[in-house]
A and B are shown apart, each in its own frame.
Chain A
């Protein structure tokens, strides 16, 4: 009987099992401990049923038929016999045929023995005595296509002439030597010849790397869809959780997001291509929009390929109020072509727009451009000016911090307002997440060594949604571990996306604080390190490696005149609502916080009064969180690494300590 649509109860050899609709019969049988022989099946590859050894007899509504269990999807109530006389007879004949052709291949002998066959009547001129002969199982063909999406290997010929080959029988230049084919080969017909880059233990790296390859092939389509649409998969997620920055980080969602959301991007990006970022990467998240016709600038009218768009670039468009994919592609192309960072440009122009709308600047400053939110044509004009070094583009190209100083100095602008809405810390523009409701993310952003980029500590969901780090101590621990872990990727020259943009199927078995670290993948990366260097790694050693560099970086900032508490202070826009408009847009949320956390009844108070009370509370919370994070990192209350911490890390070099003393 069917239960709740998604589950079906079936009977296999008299045993009852409840399985998820569309799962394969072979999995269901294995789940009951029933062994069905196979040659071509591999748990991480698409089943094809081509060896026919997994034949079973299935009865549907009173009618019996033979099916291959590995690729038979269960969609209704069935009765299955895995060892009926008819099934056993078929398997026996098949085993004899396999044994006749490849009598010395161990996996053939083993599977034939399971079927009661130890000799064959079918020896012929096709008989291959090689114990490492290719048995045409197709594992390698599927691994090439599904693990790394190269499709370099395939079968050619028909019937007895069927054989494995690359196109035209020649070594194909697209083969990148990823060794996936050899890894899944059950006979040793394809062998690995190691030698490149001289790893200490290539097999160890391969063993753990293949785990990620397999996850990408089997899990990605149910998880983040990185192969499909890349990092843009989170555009609609950010909108749904009120985290997508719109109008200079004022809000976290906008009704027009639908025009630039993940599903719209997916329709436009080129699909089905191997990765264009790092050849051989099985995640393959870099995307391209082909044949895009430019509407502005020096290449106007030309058909071009646009690399992306990534989430951040798309969110920049939302931040500028430009909810139009054509704009996103054009902005993305010209930023890339000019060598301009989309995030810095997008956040900076968003700031310019808010300043324009508030009368801080006007058309006399912008070269006549009406730079309001949503002014797509004007943004592109400004971008071209930045690249040419002309007009208002020269100023905007200097970034938010420079603009704030100039506008205060030369236009008499209110510095408090500009400091509140100018989304920069340490002179770097914020990346594209609204962090007002996540204290840990605010601190993570602002304490990041090079400014508010999200690489060091991306704790929004852990904090704001999961409520799994409620205390200052919890937040400080997360602000210790995650920045160091994520810094470690940079130290090793590794991409962090395979760490948490695909997740092992068993990650749910861990409690949330452990699951958040994705332990299975941490182990993978530790093994990569060990395989390359021969040095075993664990969490403590990893944190030590990373902390040495992280603290030295912080120290360098300090010695260069930064790296202190005042450099870790964000604009208030990152912490809470600056304006009455922002407060009113989420009035229920903010009033609730006043009542429940601040202990103030919002009734009868003006919005401006409520903004002020909330601001005081939130800044106080921010400072407490910073204190906790400094303590956890072994920094003093001014954010400078202590002598004890430097000694503990073994970086208390005499020159460093002398410089440190000279600043204190």
Chain B
């Protein structure tokens, strides 16, 4: 299980990357900042950065528009 934004529980899968998680959550926003267990993940690493089982992930969407 992965906890996203201290609220949403997502089933963990072996080999899960940040990009997998974003896809699963449907997060397609441009201005986002991702941390996995408090480690900041660079955008170019989303496809390779592993999300361990039990990780706490934050996906911060910076408001634009509006």
Contact = CB atoms under 8 A, between A and B. Distances in A.
A462 B61 CA distance: 7
A284 interface: no
A83 interface: no
Nearest to B8: A467
Interface stretch (A62-70, A159-167, A394-402, A452-460): A452-460
Interface stretch (A2-10, A171-179, A208-216, A630-638): A2-10
Contact of B61 (A6, A7, A465): A465
A468 B60 contact: yes
A231 B65 CA distance: 7
A234 B62 contact: no
B24 to A, nearest CB: 13
Nearest to A6: B44
A276 interface: no
A512 interface: yes
A311 interface: yes
A237 B29 contact: yes
B54 to A, nearest CB: 19
B40 interface: yes
A6 B26 CA distance: 22
A507 B28 CA distance: 19
Scoring B27, B59, B62 by chain A CB atoms within 10 A of each residue's CB, the highest score goes to B62
A113 interface: no
Contacts of B61: 461-462, 465-466
A518 B5 CA distance: 20
A311 B65 contact: yes
Contact of A467 (B7, B28, B33, B45): B7
Contact of B62 (A241, A467, A515): A515
A470 B63 CA distance: 16
A566 interface: no
A501 B64 contact: yes
Interface string A1-27: 001111100000000000010000000
Interface residues of A, number: 38
A462 to B, nearest CB: 6
Nearest to B4: A467
**B interface: dominant SS:** loop
B33 A515 contact: yes
Interface string B34-57: 000000100011011000000000
B14 interface: no
Given A465-B5, A516-B63, A7 B26 contact: no
A3 B49 CA distance: 11
Contacts, number: 85
Given A240-B26, A465-B61, A516-B63, A4 B48 contact: yes
How many chain B residues sit at the interface, stated as a range, is 20 to 34
A503 B62 contact: yes
A118 interface: no
A115 interface: no
A243 B20 CA distance: 23
Given A223-B31, A465-B5, A467-B7, A459 B47 contact: no
A461 B5 CA distance: 12
A4 B45 contact: yes
B66 A433 contact: yes
Contacts of A467: 5-7
Given A5-B47, A467-B5, A515-B33, A508 B40 contact: yes
Interface string A460-495: 111001111010000000000000000000000000
A224 interface: yes
Nearest to A496: B66
16 contacts: A3-B48, A4-B45, A7-B45, A222-B30, A233-B65, A311-B65, A454-B66, A459-B63, A461-B29, A461-B61, A466-B60, A467-B7, A470-B6, A501-B65, A508-B33, A518-B62
Give the top 6 A-B pairs by smallest Cβ distance, nearest first: A458-B66, A4-B48, A461-B61, A467-B5, A234-B65, A6-B44
